Amino acid sequence: MFQNNYKARMIAILFLSLAGIFGSVYTEIFQSAPCNFCLIIRYSVIAISFISFLSLFWKWLSFLMVIPISVALWADYKIMSAEFFPKNYVCEGDVCQTPEFLGIRLSIWAMMILSAILFLFVFDTIQKIRETRNRTLHGGSK
């Protein structure tokens, strides 16, 4: 399904990013306020959803997703390193732990969602390279 369907990949990225946004807002409302790195991840995922939506209409925009994906992965790495290696203290307050949902910390949820988005983005990039190479090899025909 995803191999030859660009729109399906962008819609999957859009749904994954919307799930991440809703999870982030739910946690803020019902569990605790987000730290600065959590907000960076949230805003990056909002940018990813916005870019993936616009990419449904303008295919060339999807390459811009690399920026918010990189920023979100960096922020999640900083949070996870502070949670698992306490010497790397980056959060405010006494305890540097993200809340849990279904027994899994939100930093892990964020990493899972971002990893799936990254996989789809890289897969899409590989497909675009293949399409370009095939057009070049076959004299410009699709």
pLDDT surpasses 50 at 94? no
pLDDT of residue 97: 59
8 Å CB contact between 121 and 65: yes
User: pTM value?
Assistant: 0.75
Output the pLDDT for position 4: 64
Look up residue 69 and give its two tokens: 């994906």
> Whole-angstrom Cα distance, residue 59 to residue 63?
9
